[in-house]
Amino acid sequence: MELRSLGRTGLMVSRLALGTMTWGSDTGPDDAAAQLKAFTDAGGTLVDTADVYGGGEAERLLGTLVAESYDRAEVIIASKAVARPDHQRRFDASRGHLLSALDASLRRLRTDYLDLWQLHAWDDRTPLEETLAAVDLAVSSGRVRYAGISNYTGWQVAKAAAWQAAWPGRAPIASAQVEYSLLARGAETELLPACRDAGVGVLPWSPLGRGVLTGKYRNGVPADSRAASSRFDRFVGRFLDDRSAGIVQAVATASDGLGVSPLAVSLVWVRDQPGVVAPVVGARTAEQLLVSLDTEGLSLPPEIISALDDVSSPDQTGS
């Protein structure tokens, strides 16, 4: 798999990242092991997780698999902290919480360092300088190699990156995770330009439009889909509208013409956008993941890209 630089750093990562959000909940140990093997066999290196995925089980499972079957130096582990979904304070980027969360992540992952540690969300209650000072300490102590952010707005990215660049010795912001797909192009207005200006690499999450771009919802809601689940129905439902249906149809037309799957068209469109380092792809099984991995040799013709750009152009709401 082709490697790309993570922002303006020397860290080279695979141009697809393996997401583990369902590990430890919907994805059990055997399927997780099969996914990781398929991913690494294809040349994938960057694996993305978070301290809250599966209530910590995703990290624990990933740590066990890497420790028992892989060379730690060849698996680039990215995790996150800040989110506290079962706490009265949903987002906590205070120094105390961040450093405690980091130590807990390292224990679950059975490693003494993270390749990439990401702030999972913006925290209005904590001064940014306190948050970033904790990040600097994590990097200077050797527990973290590179720092990133997730789900920030454009101005928040610019502020964090500028703060870190203002003094020598601070850990630069290497990456930013953001939802980005043919169905969600709002990031193009401010966030992507801010990232390009600051040299921050973009890691798109949900590059398949929460699964809608695969075409699985064209004829209704499958019983085993996320939209049929009480946990995820609202998560998917925002893209089950007429505008999205038009984009899904355009993707299907392009896939028919190219002889590839709608998933491949949608994923490659995101993967090859300016500033994008690696879309984060997840799956419930290794077989599902292989469909994403099979896109490595695919590139979209300019006329297909132009047509998809036109039909999915963000509307007045920035969707």
- Looking at the structure of the chain, the number of domains it has is 1
CATH of the domain at 93: 3.20.20.100
Average pLDDT over residues 247-274: 97
Instruction: Note the pLDDT tens digit of each residue in 132-151.
Output: 999 999 999 999 999 999 99
Rg, the chain, Cα only: 19
Decide if 201 contacts 274 (C-beta within 8 A): no
Kindly state whether residue 101 falls inside one of the protein's structural domains. Answer: yes
Average pLDDT over residues 79-91: 94
Kindly state whether residue 231 falls inside one of the protein's structural domains. Answer: no
Percent of the residues in the chain that have a pLDDT greater than 70, as a whole number: 93
How do beta strands 280-281 and 46-48 pair?
unpaired
Q: Which SS3 state, helix, strand or coil, does residue 288 take?
A: helix
Instruction: Name the active-site residue from 53, 152, 180, 217.
Output: 53
Residue 206 confidence (pLDDT) above 80: yes
Kindly state whether residue 40 falls inside one of the protein's structural domains. Answer: yes
The mean pLDDT value of the chain amounts to 94
Kindly state whether residue 303 falls inside one of the protein's structural domains. Answer: no
What is the span of the domain harbouring residue 34? 3-211+266-298
Kindly state whether residue 315 falls inside one of the protein's structural domains. Answer: no
Kindly state whether residue 156 falls inside one of the protein's structural domains. Answer: yes
Kindly state whether residue 251 falls inside one of the protein's structural domains. Answer: no
Q: Assess whether 180 carries a catalytic annotation.
A: no
Torsion of CA 230, 62, 160, 178, to 10 degrees: -40
Kindly state whether residue 11 falls inside one of the protein's structural domains. Answer: yes
Read off the tokens for 114: 């993270």
What is the amino acid identity at position 178? V
